Chains A and B, each alone.
Chain A
């Protein structure tokens, strides 16, 4: 069974403006992707494309005014969006875990890290305090934290950024989840620590066979660590497929521009791509949302673009792509 299958997910921000008119920001416009166990999916896109919102939507963590207005998120065949809140809450932190990008501020400042690990374990599993403690020490050790038994007594403020991120990963893994969502897990860490954390995540997936989704805007991370990738633009996935296929033959103009805009490519002196602001989510253009920025846009782009299958699971949503 597919571990995670998101189908046509729509999330809107619904608010009232000063004239009491209802304003709708269409933040997610039909996001669909699948993730199999034992695979790593990289979700890339510019800021505001809806990467994190996809994660919070499917985990049921949206707060007003954001609201899922359509679609399904099947986790092992069960629709997370149709489940009662209590049932989703039981899954969160146990079967589906999240690692966020601000580890230091995401740890409870008034609880020692060992107690936080024990707390999350005992919130989901009926185990004794001593057993939970043993597992917590083991978990810290497996994440390469030196002297884990002593580290259990550390306060969050005493940790470095890299150390805090490891603790956060330990928290996420305490209950042996089957799906791990890492939302920009290495933002704000220096490069060597970034590599260590990502190596850790990859080894974990290879060893335990869980599925992982890494949200990032770093194409280098996707190229090095992911099996599949999905490129997001204005709340929709414009291109997806195996990493090798997408990098080898970037078919959507946005993907091509994104890859062309990495520092390495820019240094090669290739043609400069056209920049521009992301579209206004309150007034998305008809048809392809990228057409205002797209160098290849034509009149037909005002029509909704088709998903074109390019073989080997490689799909691009564009009028310009020939199958």
Chain B
């Protein structure tokens, strides 16, 4: 068992190397030459050559890749030319905001979507199924940014229940000392109830948006998976054996778990883009907003770092999914 698991984890290393190659090529192929930009408009030819040599840009491309590879391994993702700060530091500053948003959003989305999908599958074409089918269709068809704007319009402007979508905490409050990076959790840890409360009320609307957008496909997919399991030979045979209904349902649940978790894994990686738009609407200041701005501004070191982090995130999500499957699927060979 541990051998298989170790092999799967070891697979991450070559995967990361390939990802690095692609992020490297991403900038190389964009055809931009940072040397002129860095040396300034008054630089002489010698100065330009000097800068070029200092960046190793006069070397063959594979040497350049080696230099890039080495720097990334040391945690050097370059500098943003907009802010002049190291990209890694900026990413680490913003990551908790995005993780917080996605974590609660997906947790609530899956927490609502999985039971709803299962319940719909247990009574296909029943009234619950019809209602959830309509709602998930609605969730599918609503554009992300529009949902965010409408939420703000209704709950902030019309009803006044929610704070304005201007960041993660009230503008006049100081954020709590950083422990996890989540204002809500840090506020609770520091017993700063005011900050925690404000962070919570700021979280509600964007988290709700992520939850709605992620729940729609989860409902649909869970329903389809559970229906397939319920129609399987082993469930039909369990009925023929007179097993109690509770046990048959438990069997259906266990057999649906692997495909549902796999689906949610792929969904989370796709949700990164959705979250970026929601961050934009709510001025969330997370990674997604950061990456989007960098793309618009042409801040290449940041784009490179952003893409690298997203790829790393996907690799980790798929690793987690694979480990889950290995531990629950006897055919994967690692089940206890």
Contact = CB atoms under 8 A, between A and B. Distances in A.
B243 interface: yes
Contacts of A102: 233
Q: Which of B233, B237, B251, B329 counts the most A-chain CB atoms under 10 A from its CB?
A: B237
User: Which residue of B233, B234, B241 has the most chain A CB atoms within 10 A of its CB atom?
Assistant: B241
Given A108-B251, A119-B247, A155 B242 contact: no
B28 interface: no
Interface in B236-274: 236-244, 247, 251, 254-255
B255 A110 contact: yes
24 contacts: A61-B239, A61-B240, A90-B242, A92-B239, A92-B242, A93-B240, A93-B241, A93-B242, A98-B240, A100-B237, A102-B233, A105-B232, A107-B234, A108-B251, A108-B255, A109-B330, A109-B331, A110-B330, A111-B251, A123-B241, A123-B244, A123-B247, A124-B242, A171-B241
Interface in B202-251: 232-234, 236-244, 247, 251
Nearest to A157: B331
Which of A61, A105, A110, A124 has the largest number of chain B CB atoms within 10 A? A110
Nearest to A85: B245
Which 8 pairs across A and B sit closest by C-beta, in order of nearness?
A92-B242, A93-B241, A93-B242, A106-B237, A105-B233, A155-B330, A98-B240, A106-B233
B328 interface: yes
A143 interface: no
A97 B240 CA distance: 8
Contacts of A93: 240-243
A91 B242 contact: yes
Nearest to B243: A123
A94 interface: yes
Nearest to B255: A110
Q: How large is the interface on A (under 10, 10 to 19, 20 to 34, 35 or more residues)?
A: 20 to 34
Given A106-B234, A107-B234, A92 B330 contact: no
A168 B239 CA distance: 14
Given A93-B241, A94-B242, 4 more contacts: A107-B234, A109-B330, A110-B255, A123-B243
Contacts of B328: 110
Contact of A120 (B243, B329, B331): B243
A111 B254 CA distance: 10
A3 interface: no
Interface in B278-336: 328-331, 335
Given A105-B232, A108-B251, A110-B254, A100 B244 contact: no
Nearest to B239: A61
A119 B242 contact: no
A232 interface: no
Interface of B: 232-234, 236-244, 247, 251, 254-255, 328-331, 335
B153 to A, nearest CB: 44
Contacts of A120: 241, 243
Interface in A164-190: 168, 171-172
A119 B248 CA distance: 11
Contact of B242 (A89, A100, A109): A89
A124 B236 CA distance: 18
Contacts of B241: 92-93, 97-98, 120, 123, 171-172
Nearest to B331: A157
Given A120-B241, A123-B244, A100 B233 contact: yes
A104 to B, nearest CB: 9
A94 B240 CA distance: 10
B108 to A, nearest CB: 28
A119 B330 contact: no
Contacts of A91: 242
Between A89, A108, A124, the greatest number of chain B beta carbons within 10 A of the residue's beta carbon is seen for A108
A214 B254 CA distance: 33
A50 to B, nearest CB: 18
Contacts of A100: 233, 237, 240
Contacts of B240: 59, 61, 92-93, 98, 100
Nearest to A183: B240
Contacts of B330: 109-110, 155, 157
A93 B239 CA distance: 9
A172 B240 CA distance: 10
A123 B232 contact: no
A176 to B, nearest CB: 14
A59 B236 CA distance: 12
A261 to B, nearest CB: 30
Interface string A78-99: 0000000000011111100110
A93 B329 CA distance: 27
Contacts of B247: 119, 123
A109 B331 CA distance: 9
A245 B41 CA distance: 108
A190 to B, nearest CB: 21
A110 B329 CA distance: 7
Nearest to A174: B241
Interface in A107-142: 107-111, 119-120, 123-124
Contacts of A172: 241
B335 to A, nearest CB: 8
A168 B329 CA distance: 21
Nearest to B238: A108
A15 to B, nearest CB: 14
Of residues A61, A90, A105, A106, which shows the largest number of chain B Cβ atoms within 10 Å of its Cβ? A106
Contact of B255 (A98, A109, A168): A109
